[in-house]
Amino acid sequence: MSIAIRPYHPSDLYSLYQICLKTANSGQDGSHLYRDPELIGAIFAAPYAVAEPDLCLIVTVDEVPSGYILGTRDSAAFATWAELNWFSHLRRRYPLPAEGDHSFDAAAIRSIHEGYSPEPQLASYPAHLHIDLLPAAQGQGWGRRLIEQFLARLRELGVCGVHLGVGKANSGAVQFYSRVGFQRVLEADSWIGYGRLL
C-alpha cells in the first residue's frame, strides 16, 4: 500500500464530497444519515477547495484520494466570498425545509441558509481548517503530517493563528488536536473550538 500527500487538483472535487460524507458521523461514515450525499461536503469541504485551492492537500492511498486538509487563511474574508459566491447559489437549489423537519438534511440546509460567520471568540486565530481521513489513511501519522504542512503554508503567508471546531462526540479528534498543539479556546453545547498561534 502506497500513501502520499499531494496538492489538490480540481479533479479531486468529487472525492472531497465523498470523504466529507464518509467522515460526517463524528469521524465515522455518515452516508446513512443524509438523503442528499452532497449536502455536507457543500458546507465543509467544497467551498474551501474552490476559494483557496492552494490551501488544500490530499492524502492518497494507492493513488486514490482518501483524506484532505483544507481551509482559509482569513475567516472573515472567506465569509464574504462564501456568501457572494457559494451559499447564495446553494439556497436556490436547497429551499428551507419545513419547520417540523428535523432530519440531518434539514439541519444542513438550514446551515446553508444561515451562511458562514466567523466566531468572534476565535478572532485571534484568523485562519481555520477542516481535516478528514478515511480509515485507510488513519492511525499512521498522516493527519499530523497534513497539519504540519498546512501550518507551514500559513506561516509562509504571514498568518498569525488558526482555529478549528470539533464535535464533542468525536473523542478521537479531540485527543488528536491536543496532541498536535491546539489549545481549547471555546466550548459550546455540542462542539469545542481549538486555536493555535503560529
Q: Tens digit of pLDDT for each residue in 82-98?
A: 999 999 999 999 999 99
Phi and psi at residue 31, to the nearest 5°: -60, -35
The pTM of this model reads 0.95
What's the pLDDT tens digit per position in 59-81? 999 999 999 999 999 999 999 99
* CATH number of the domain within which 37 lies: 3.40.630.30
Grid cell 473523542 — which residue?
A: 171
Domain that holds residue 120: 3-197
pLDDT tens digits along 100-147: 999 999 999 999 999 999 999 999 999 999 999 999 999 899 999 999
11 neighbors 79 (Cβ within 8 angstroms): no
The x, y and z cell numbers of residue 111, run together, are 446551515
Residues forming beta bridges with residue 93, ordered by sequence position: none
Q: Please list, in sequence order, all residues whose beta carbon lies within 8 angstroms of the beta carbon of residue 78, skipping any fewer than 6 positions away.
A: 48, 51, 52, 72, 116
Question: What's the structural domain count of the chain?
Answer: 1
Longest Cα separation, the chain: 48
